[in-house]
Structure 1
Amino acid sequence: MKILIISDSHGWTDELADVIAQQKPNVSAIFHCGDSELPHHAPQLENCYVVRGNCDFDEEFPEERVEEIEGTRVYMTHGHLYNVKMSHVPITYRAEEVGANIACFGHSHVATSFSENNVVYINPGSIRLPRNRKEQTYCICEINENREVTVTFYDRTGKDIPDLTSHYLIGQD
């Protein structure tokens, strides 16, 4: 199973649509971790799981969501309510509370992934306003039948960024 994870597109419509169109045939689900700055009915977000970020004003988006995708429990929130720019501790508590295998968040615009307490955490960065790197990023999370997780980051044009790629095993740190 593959999941496209994107965040912090901040009003971009064509660029967001381009990334989704490029990856949609290859993935089982699409997650947008907030700050799209689009209305919930925007065509670019059709068939996507979306949460509300601090720059989203459409109250139709939930603050967080938990989805079961092919036997994997995915938790998603934007991150501003968990102060992810300062610490990952609050979001790790919440992900554990909801029994997540994968936790997706944005807000910081910093592309990263890590594993803690049997949960894989993924921030896809930002396709518009990256921090700590020059590349505008999103990622694909692939989970195989052995529960091995590969998180591969791409720049907005679809070129992979090898130094950000990480491998994990769900259920082990």
Structure 2
Amino acid sequence: MVKALVISDSHGRNDGMREVIKREKPFDVLIHSGDVDEALENILGPTDFQIRSVRGNCDYISLPYELIFKLGGRNVLLLHGHTMGGRSIHPGIDMNSLVYYARSKGCDMLIYGHTHIPDYTVLEDGFIIINPGSITLPRQSDRQKTYGVLEVDDQKVSYELRTVAF
């Protein structure tokens, strides 16, 4: 079983991210889907977990726009989402295009950010879509600051959206 902490759109407000990391330890990998403002390695220093992070539309640091990696038995596409056109989910994000793109890369899980609105969807064929929302600037109606805890093995995926109050 692999445990991942999934964060997005922290926008340089790092105290909250540090608090969540402290609260959720131990975990295997920190996944940040963009708009972090600074390399996580600089923010956190040495860690006992892996870091997977991509560049968002507000980032001006040297990070890739997308990453593909294994997480348990899943192939994950991680991206911010702002480079995909359309209006289905949020101005600038077309969910059909995102899913199609992830599948074309051989992935069966998509983790994205940008909207600041949490989403967890499992499609009929088992394809998984995750957006942890924003840990600092939420846009959903309840304005809860959110992040996700994802556990994956070869057979099973569990995901829990959690809230913070800082």
Q: TM-score range by the shorter chain?
A: 0.7 to 0.9
CA distance in 2 between partners of 1:157 and 1:30 (Å)? 20
Residue 123 of structure 1 is matched in structure 2 by 131
User: With structure 2 as the length reference, what TM-score do the two structures score?
Assistant: 0.84
* Structure-2 separation of matches of 1:91 and 1:82: 7
**CA separation in 2, counterparts of 1:38 and 1:144?**
30
CA distance in 2, matches of 1:22, 1:4: 11
Work out the CA distance in 1 between the residues paired with 2:152 and 2:72: 10
The aligned amino acid for 1:18 is E
1:81-96 paired onto structure 2 within 5 Å: 81-83=83-85, 85-86=90-91, 87-96=94-103
Q: Are residue 136 (structure 1) and residue 145 (structure 2) matched? A: yes
CA distance in 1, matches of 2:130, 2:161: 10
Alpha-carbon RMSD? 2.0
Number of aligned residue pairs: give it.
155
For the residue of structure 1 that corresponds to 2:83, the secondary structure is helix
- Match of 1:100, SS? coil
Distance in 2 between the 1:155 and 1:36 partners? 18
Matching of residues 157-172 of structure 1 within 5 Å: 157=165
TM-score (norm: length of structure 1): 0.81
Can you give the 5+ residue segments of structure 2 that lack an aligned partner in the other structure?
none
Structure 1 stretches of 4+ moved >6 Å: none
The 1:118/1:99 distance shift into structure 2, 3 A limit, reads farther
Matched residues in 2 for 1:130 and 1:70: separation? 29
How big is the shift at 1:21? 2.2
Q: What corresponds to 1:14 in structure 2?
A: 15
* Residues 148 and 69 of structure 1: CA distance in aligned 2, closer, same or farther (over 3 Å): closer
Name the counterpart of 2:60.
57
Q: Which has the bigger relative contact order, CA under 8 A and spacing at least 6?
A: 2
Q: CA deviation at 1:82?
A: 1.5
